[in-house]
Amino acid sequence: MNFASDNVSPFCPEVLEALTQDASSNAPAYGGDNISQQLDAAFSELFDKEVAVVPVATGTAANCISLSALVSPYGGVVCHHESHINEDESTGVAFFTGGAKLLPMDGPAAKLEADKLDAFIADRVDRGVHSVAPECVAITQATELGAVYTVDEVKMIGDVCRTHDLRLFMDGARFANAVAHLKCHPADVTWKAGVDAISFGATKNGAMAVDAIVLFDTNLRHRVEQARKRSGHLHSKHRYLATQLLAYIKNDVWLKNADNANTAAKTLANILSKQGASLTHPAQGNELFVRMPVELAGRLRDAGMMFHGWPSLGADVYRFVTAWNTDIDQINQLESGL
Amino acid sequence: MNFASDNVSPFCPEVLEALTQDASSNAPAYGGDNISQQLDAAFSELFDKEVAVVPVATGTAANCISLSALVSPYGGVVCHHESHINEDESTGVAFFTGGAKLLPMDGPAAKLEADKLDAFIADRVDRGVHSVAPECVAITQATELGAVYTVDEVKMIGDVCRTHDLRLFMDGARFANAVAHLKCHPADVTWKAGVDAISFGATKNGAMAVDAIVLFDTNLRHRVEQARKRSGHLHSKHRYLATQLLAYIKNDVWLKNADNANTAAKTLANILSKQGASLTHPAQGNELFVRMPVELAGRLRDAGMMFHGWPSLGADVYRFVTAWNTDIDQINQLESGL
Amino acid sequence: MNFASDNVSPFCPEVLEALTQDASSNAPAYGGDNISQQLDAAFSELFDKEVAVVPVATGTAANCISLSALVSPYGGVVCHHESHINEDESTGVAFFTGGAKLLPMDGPAAKLEADKLDAFIADRVDRGVHSVAPECVAITQATELGAVYTVDEVKMIGDVCRTHDLRLFMDGARFANAVAHLKCHPADVTWKAGVDAISFGATKNGAMAVDAIVLFDTNLRHRVEQARKRSGHLHSKHRYLATQLLAYIKNDVWLKNADNANTAAKTLANILSKQGASLTHPAQGNELFVRMPVELAGRLRDAGMMFHGWPSLGADVYRFVTAWNTDIDQINQLESGL
Amino acid sequence: MNFASDNVSPFCPEVLEALTQDASSNAPAYGGDNISQQLDAAFSELFDKEVAVVPVATGTAANCISLSALVSPYGGVVCHHESHINEDESTGVAFFTGGAKLLPMDGPAAKLEADKLDAFIADRVDRGVHSVAPECVAITQATELGAVYTVDEVKMIGDVCRTHDLRLFMDGARFANAVAHLKCHPADVTWKAGVDAISFGATKNGAMAVDAIVLFDTNLRHRVEQARKRSGHLHSKHRYLATQLLAYIKNDVWLKNADNANTAAKTLANILSKQGASLTHPAQGNELFVRMPVELAGRLRDAGMMFHGWPSLGADVYRFVTAWNTDIDQINQLESGL
């Protein structure tokens, strides 16, 4: 079984059906079509607040374009060392923002902690134009190490941002997994907790290629749309981004998909624990980071499991990722073969 | 009938079938999959030369990423005033290249003419670091005004570039329409004529969202792949870009689609001419620019035709665009209703 | 005599004296010193309005930093084809603004004309995020071809800017020459006419290396100071920029210097006319553009005159530039040697 | 006495004399003059190797322009956390390089250590286009905390760079203080040790406003000159940058000035030690970082000393900086007043 990444999964039947239905008729380009026009309303209902939705095809684009509207070319973005924007997006943030600097800090399981964040910001020596002042905080929900911020944790971070007059951005590449774990309303961990914008991930969790920039501050829309066009992320056949998104959130497909991934991860965690592996932190979303002897890792691979080592957590740590299509029965069958 | 743009068309059955077939299995991300791995070979065969293929989802991305590897932040890109990179990509070229400047010139039907190009470059006063020196020439095939460069015309432009030690880039958003018109081998109007890189368009002509950067100078691959990642254009489920492209070129689908569009354009041109409209230049690809009295324009709209005015060519000029799915019978039926 | 440029001149005695006086004592760095602190007040008095002054060492820096605060990365700057920002600052404007595009237009003697400007802006087809919308107009006073805008001409341009909600920037590399010619108050051709910011040139007219960004909209100060620092234009020994500027405007040194240059240009114009040369447009500032046969050009060079050809105006056009230190008696003596 | 910074000092008599001598005659602009033309030869002799010299007015410009020629927009620059490029140049490095990322690490007294550097580079997980690969190492000589790399230390760092195929840049804002301390040949700690380019500081140590980019790899010259012009750092009256530099290195003025500063620092260190203060690390250049009780700090200030706290080293740590013009007798007299 392939636990290398949730990116190895295909797209889900609901998305295929929606694309197929929209594959025969003409429609206006660049978002002028009927499907694209439904996005704002659909997400406003989902988040129980009027939002602006700007879909793009990748998470890196969603993150970097969002940040380009939240931070000036002279400012800083406080983030975690392990965050995707710091570790996996090349020099994208500087590129899209015109130079803004990432200001990474530590925290358990790739989470920022409100009190440490507050101290980190307060302790920075302000040397005026010489130094880079934080203008934005970026958190990832669920984090790159599979942990999920509680509603209260996000709220406290939101409070810190308000205190220091900073914007709060959420990388929600695995937002569905977080909400499925928390069983909260999407509003509770976003705008109600102080989040200004989120990249609402769909690609990893059942779409083909679409993540939505959801702006809780709708004033950001024009700047985001300018940045999207200029960076080549405005699709001419825009409706196919919209189609995927609408199918993804309709009938809670996004939560159903995430539930499967989360349950699969817990199932796998149990099996691995019985074999002597230990989680570096509790399984919450769809990613497991487990410490185990090399012998066990070898045995799992012999049994047909694919997964990566995760050297930043230690030479004996490995990552397992489940997805919307992971077959839980098949995981259970794996156990007998170990 | 909708003649507003070829972007209003959906994607074609062959692309849908390919996407559907690849919608159930897992596969490595970011281009490590079997489908993506076929791209270089498939396009090398198509172009009869070893090429490097880097797919992205939009034409703007394909153009700007290509240029970022062909021109320095201090250089200039000679192009036509009407070119897409000059008129329709916001400040994208400066963004991706780190500042390079577009140096627009004129020419009939949005074509550059080799002798005028040569003079344009030769006449620029070189004031060293103060001025912007041309480093690249960009042409569009077919042009934004629907004209097609002959093989000889591209060759002569290629010769001018070689003389002045400039790179030659081709925006091939409608490359299929051009090749279908010329009935030449794709190699004849590209690398054999001196083209270094082309954005090989598929989106307008039957794909959902993919254009391929095809590099005839394979040394450019690394820089292009770096630029693609950094700008958020590397898809995690990369195989779906590859799937579209392979279905698009397999069995000459791309030429079949373009043939339909070109024939539809000629059919429509005949009908419009009979009504008293005149083409600003001969129909070659799938775009018509016609001069006609406002009364006729109104009559066509009353008959159900959708199309745009094209003020840069005159207040009485209109653009009609056909596509891979334009129904030629339906065009013919339109005639009787006029 | 050297008429190649006003940049060939040294700095003037008043500047040397001021630098010498300030060459022995310590003082706070980065503008915290007593001399730097006088700038705002001194220029506010000069312009009869509260202004913010940000000095830099070069005109290119003054222009580009100013524009970076007046235009977004997605916007356009309308300017003349012959303008310094378009022709002589490499890709500086795109660099400092993060991508903004120059939108050059024509006009006599490198001047924009209000009615043509209005039409140029009004006629641009607005295609939303696809196209580049003008956000700023940049004029040069005196122009690169030695012409001077009248107060009314600037006012009319200011009105056009207000109508279209555009910023108005003035490249004042030779502002002193313009004011000396117009004999107006500096306020009349700047903020009273709608100018938001000016690069107030000193280097060409008697300073060693300093031009002042003068902001009539003082809200721009913070962004300009951020851009100055980030681009390496904040001097640690900032007082020496301030010293030069204060000496330059004290006792109207700037106007005295410019008067000499303007008078020298007129004197030279008379002599050249008598020899059969003709001015392409009347002498107003310190630059002459003259049409003459090659034989005469040769004779002038034989007589010891240094000057450049100016091919953009024609193969038989040459530029002569006078400066604050041009010796008018010596010009008169030249005549006898011709 | 003012120990706040070496930037509080004026420029030295030799520089004033040279500027004065060159204040009356005309000369070609932009470096075409006789004085500017001497730079390459003078520095080639100083460094005992053919070098290319590109002077600019500030250290930030010298650093950032140099780096723009040494690293791609997708690469990383390994540096110390306390380095000027990381802490005091706003987002300048990203701006000039088009996005390159600073990769800061720790080390005693702001020095990188060769073995730790080697491990830092080797341990970075290379995830291809997703991650930022180091392309350059930047060290500061003397460091921002007043320490001086020995010749061997630089050599070992140069070896690490060669091993990993990285460029080596030296921020030499206080290079004179380092060489005066080491009593070595300038070549020994630069190109002979593997340094590709240095910003050779003069401003802090006796010039008015000039630092020289000295390129040991002369192939970098064109790119550096393009970057200089585009960023507004090419002075029209270029000779005044050159004049300062030539006066600064003639007759070893640079070393004489640095010797005074270094000796003054040692003298001051002795006095402070006797009062109970302790250096955080030995005095080598012209900066002292001392730990002392708040009572002593107050007493020193009462005695007329100006200096800053240095919170990044601790709440009880203060920085004292001496300069080329610090009066050592006056320091000694201070002692009696304590």
What confidence tens digit (pLDDT) does each residue in C132-162 have?
999 999 999 999 999 999 999 999 999 999 9
pLDDT tens sequence across C162-214: 999 999 999 999 999 999 999 999 999 999 999 999 999 999 999 999 999 99
Task: Flag whether pLDDT at B336 surpasses 90.
Answer: no
D230–C95 CB contact, under 8 Å: yes
Q: Looking at per-residue confidence, does C334 or D96 come out higher? A: D96
Contact C119, C62 (CB under 8 A): no
- Which pLDDT band, with edges at 50, 70 and 90, does A334 fall under? confident
Six-digit token string for A298: 């070898």
**pLDDT of D320 above 90:** yes
The percentage of chain D sitting over the pLDDT mark of 70, rounded to a whole number, equals: 100
Residues of B in contact with A63 (CB under 8 A): 232
| Model pLDDT, residue A336 | 82
**pLDDT-above-70 percentage for chain C:** 100
Q: Which of C205, C53, C63, C54 is nearest to D232 (CA)?
A: C63
CA distance linking residue B37 with residue D217, whole number of Å = 40
Q: Which residues contact B128 (CB under 8 A, 6 or more apart)?
A: none
What is the mean predicted confidence (pLDDT) over A23-50?
Answer: 97
Q: Distance between CA atoms of A177 and A198, rounded to whole angstroms?
A: 15
pLDDT tier, D336 (very low <50, low <70, confident <90, very high otherwise): confident
d(CA D281, CA A22): 71
Q: Which helix (H) or strand (E) holds C16?
A: helix C13-21
Q: How far is D123 from chain B (nearest CA, A)?
A: 21
ipTM confidence: 0.97
Residue C255 has pLDDT above 90, yes or no: yes
Q: Do A20 and B20 touch (CB under 8 A)?
A: yes
* pLDDT at position A212 over 90: yes
Q: What is the mean pLDDT of residues C125-129?
A: 92
Euclidean distance between CA atoms D249 and D45, whole angstroms: 11
Q: Among partner residues C4, C65, C237, which is closest to D208 by beta-carbon distance?
A: C237
A122-131, B134-143, B158-167, C56-65: least confidently modelled range = A122-131
Class of domain A253-336: alpha beta
Residues of chain D whose beta carbon is less than 8 angstroms from a beta carbon of chain A are 73-75, 87-91, 94-95, 98-102, 125, 127, 129-132, 311-312
pLDDT of res. A160: 98
pTM as predicted: 0.97
Tens digit of pLDDT for each residue in B42-63?
999 999 999 999 999 999 999 9
Task: Tell me if domain D7-252 and domain D255-336 are identical in fold.
Answer: no
CATH superfamily of this structure's domain B254-336: Aspartate Aminotransferase, domain 1 (3.90.1150.10)
- Rounded Cα–Cα distance for residues B296 and B271 (Å): 12
Chain D residues touching residue C95 (CB < 8 angstroms): 230-231
Over residues C222-239, mean pLDDT:
98
Residues of A with CB under 8 A from a CB of D: 73-75, 87-91, 94-95, 98-102, 125, 127, 129-132, 311-312
**Average pLDDT along chain A:** 97
Q: How far apart are CA A73 and CA B176, in angstroms?
A: 41
- D282-303 tens-digit pLDDT: 989 999 999 999 999 999 999 9
pLDDT over threshold 90, residue D231: yes
Q: What is the residue extent of each domain of chain A?
A: 11-252, 253-336
Confidence (pLDDT) at A335:
85
Q: What pLDDT, on the 0 to 100 scale, is given for residue D88?
A: 97
What residues of B are in contact with residue C85 (Cβ under 8 Å)?
Answer: none
- Residue A318 pairs in a beta bridge with A290, A309
- pLDDT, tens digit, 9 for 90 and up, residues A238-258: 999 999 999 999 999 999 999
Positive or negative torsion for Cα C129, C135, C140, C143: positive
Instruction: Using an 8 Å CB-CB cutoff, list chain A residues near B203.
Output: 236-237
pLDDT value at residue D125: 85
Chain A closest-CA separation from residue B156 CA (Å): 31
pLDDT of residue B292: 96
Architecture of domain A11-252: 3-Layer(aba) Sandwich (3.40)
Closest by Cβ to C28, choosing from D8, D26, D230:
D8
Contacting subunits of D (3+ beta carbon pairs below 8 A):
A, B, C
Give the DSSP H/E element, type plus range, for residue C242.
Answer: helix C239-249
What is the overall mean pLDDT for chain C? Answer: 97
Q: Considering only CB atoms, which chain B residues are within 8 Å of A25? A: 10
Confidence of residue B88 (pLDDT cuts 50, 70, 90): very high
In which band, very low, low, confident or very high, does the pLDDT at C98 lie, cut at 50, 70 and 90?
very high
**Residue among C333, C319, C336, C335 at smallest CA distance from C8:** C319
**Per-residue model confidence as pLDDT tens digits over B272-311:** 999 999 999 998 999 999 999 999 999 999 999 999 999 8
* 8 Å CB contact of A230 and B65: no
Nearest chain C CA: its distance from B102 CA (Å): 9
Does the pLDDT at position D217 exceed 90? yes
User: Could you tell me which CATH number the domain at D255-336 has?
Assistant: 3.90.1150.10
Nearest Cα neighbor of A112 from A136, A78, A159, A67 is: A78
Average pLDDT value for chain D: 97
Write down the pLDDT at residue C43.
Answer: 98
pLDDT-derived band at B334 (thresholds 50, 70, 90) equals confident
pLDDT of residue C327: 96
Q: Is 90 exceeded by the pLDDT of residue D174?
A: yes
Q: State the Cα–Cα distance between residues B77 and A92, nearest whole angstrom.
A: 24
- What pLDDT score does A312 carry? 86
Q: What is the pLDDT of residue A299?
A: 94
Is the dihedral angle over the CA atoms C183, C187, C190, C194 positive or is it negative? negative
| Phi, psi (rounded to 5 degrees) for A102 | -80, 135
User: What pLDDT, in 10s, does the model give residues C101-113?
Assistant: 999 999 999 999 9
D7-252 CATH pick, 1.10.220.10, 3.40.605.10, 3.40.640.10, 1.10.1740.10: 3.40.640.10
Of A98, A129, A234, the CB nearest to C129: A234
Q: What pLDDT is recorded for position B125?
A: 85
Whether D268 shows a pLDDT value over 90: the answer reads yes
Chain C closest-CA separation from residue B320 CA (Å): 18
C62-95 burial, b for 16+ CB within 10 Å, e for fewer?
bbbbbbbbbbbbbbbbbbbebbbbbbbbbbbbbb
Q: Does position A338 have pLDDT exceeding 90, yes or no?
A: no
Q: Which pLDDT does position C202 carry in this prediction?
A: 98
DSSP one-letter code for C316: T
Distance from CA of C152 to the nearest CA of D (A): 32
pLDDT value for D136? 98
Taking a C-beta distance cutoff of 8 angstroms, is the pair C308, C6 a contact?
no
Q: Three-class SS of residue D192? A: helix
List, for residues D48-105, the tens digit of each pLDDT value. 999 999 999 999 999 999 999 999 999 999 999 999 999 999 999 999 999 999 999 9
Look up the CATH number of domain C9-252.
3.40.640.10
- How distant is the Cα of A54 from the closest Cα of chain C, in angstroms? 13
Contacts of B73 in chain D (CB under 8 A): 98, 230
Interface partners of A (3+ CB pairs, < 8 Å)? B, C, D
- CB contact under 8 Å between B61 and A27, yes or no, is no
CB within 8 Å: B61 and A233: yes
pLDDT value of residue D261: 98
Which residues in chain D are contacts of A90 at CB distance < 8 A? Answer: 74, 129-132
